[in-house]
Amino acid sequence: MSSASTTRSSLREIPACAEFIEGVLKKGRKVYVLHHWDADGVASAAILLRVLGPRIVGMSTPKIGVYGASALNPNEIKKSGADTLVMLDYGARPDEVLAQVPQGLRAFIVDHHAVELSCNAREHCCNPVALGMSEAEYPSTTWVLYELLNTPSDIVDLVALGIVGDLGPALATSEHVTFVDNVAAELNMTLNDFVRAAELIDSCYRIVNSKCIEYAVQVLAEEGVRGVLHDEVLIDAHESAARYVDSAYDRLQSLEEPCPGVKIWKLSLDSLVTSYVGRSLARAYPDNVILLAHNIPSLNVTYVYVRSYSVPLRRFLEKLREEGLSVGGKDMVFVVTCSEGEDCDEVLGKITTHLCRDLSKEGQ
């Protein structure tokens, strides 16, 4: 079922990945798992829960909606008695989060985001994309884990869910679509079932409910994707999130286009619906780059969400980092964090300047 046979050995031979296999999968005894709050992060955590079982002594997400050192709770990790910390799919700068790891813990990061790696972080990060491997080959952290675990058949539903959750409509043109289709067929399910399950899980973070997220990990690990589809707690969370989404569409403010091919909206709403609304806008304008500047008052932060289903965006990440911006993402999407005290209009201007300059060159 795996399409990774030609690349699997190279991933497992990356020093940090080999150390993760040896130090966590084989020898880890007291492991704390810190994972991202979306469907890929939840499914990745469920994979480790299935594999490691009672060896996991604690599990949580960073503060929902916050990327960086301030989102971690070192005291909670220390109280668990863990000797090993695994961070899954978080997408923050590794050097920042590693600085918060309690002294004496071994730390490993497994991810697939295009983050910037310092020399010190490289020995802790099993992240093939950050190390220069193809993003198309590693569409989700669940897929990274799948290869590290040597493609076991008993986690394929979770692997497929992570891929569906992260790729969304882009799955249709991905080299992994056959894998997902095959998994669904073997389970007597459909691709839409996996899309629905990802939506149910993502509803937990959209309503900023960390207990709901950890509940979803347990359901996934014990009952799989089918269990998610029929879970009343997650269905209720989805209904609550849907009300926030409706409110978001009502509050969307369209701004003047800075150049052909770039569209901008602003939103102020205390709900983490940024990705959902941003994806829907990108689907509505598939030939454009869309920017959604979403202010979340309760977090004192504005996220500038940038997505396109037609224009590769990864090339902009390094340029924006050179401008001093806090940015993370992948080939078709990135997010710039505008924290309290920053001039978010200035941040938006820097992003559109780079986008418009490059797009105008391509149009010549």
**296 and 324 assigned to the same domain:** yes
Beta bridge partners of 268: 295
Long-range contacts of 8-11 (CB under 8 A, 24+ apart): 8/147, 8/150, 8/151, 10/133, 11/126, 11/128, 11/133, 11/144, 11/147, 11/148
Residues of 285-309 as b/e, b for ≥16 C-beta within 10 angstroms?
eeebbbbbbbbbeebebbbbbbbbb
**283 and 206 assigned to the same domain:** no
Is 54 a residue whose pLDDT tops 60?
yes
Question: Among the listed ranges 238-242, 264-268, 310-314, 357-361, which one has the minimum average pLDDT value?
Answer: 357-361
Mean pLDDT to the nearest integer, 61-76: 89
Query: Which structural domain, as residue segments, surrounds residue 159?
Result: 8-236
According to the model, what pLDDT value does residue 119 have?
Answer: 54
Is 280 a residue whose pLDDT tops 90?
yes
Would you call 14 helix, strand, or coil by DSSP? coil
pTM of the model: 0.90
Of 189, 204, 236, the position where a domain reaches its end is 236
Of 186, 201, 236, the position where a domain reaches its end is 236
According to the model, what pLDDT value does residue 93 have?
Answer: 82
Of 236, 262, 284, the position where a domain reaches its end is 236
In a domain, 80, yes or no: yes
In a domain, 71, yes or no: yes
Angle at Cα 252 formed by Cα 249 and Cα 254, nearest 5°? 135
Of 115, 176, 166, whose CA–CA distance to 275 is shortest? 166
**115 and 214 assigned to the same domain:** yes
In a domain, 284, yes or no: yes
CA 42 to CA 38: how far, in whole Å?
6
**128 and 268 assigned to the same domain:** no
CATH of the domain at 329: 3.10.310.40
**161 and 29 assigned to the same domain:** yes
CA 274 to CA 65: how far, in whole Å?
10
**261 and 188 assigned to the same domain:** no
168-226 confidence digits (pLDDT tens): 988 999 999 999 999 999 999 999 999 999 999 999 999 999 999 999 999 999 999 99
CATH of the domain at 74: 3.90.1640.30
117-171 confidence digits (pLDDT tens): 765 677 889 999 988 898 899 999 999 999 999 999 999 999 999 999 999 988 9
319-338 confidence digits (pLDDT tens): 898 888 888 888 899 999 98
Instruction: Count CB neighbours of 249 within 10 A.
Output: 12
**36 and 143 assigned to the same domain:** yes
**280 and 225 assigned to the same domain:** no
Tally the domains of the chain. 2
In a domain, 243, yes or no: no
**220 and 272 assigned to the same domain:** no
CA 278 to CA 292: how far, in whole Å?
6
**263 and 152 assigned to the same domain:** no
**112 and 46 assigned to the same domain:** yes
Chain center to CA of 184 = 22
In a domain, 112, yes or no: yes
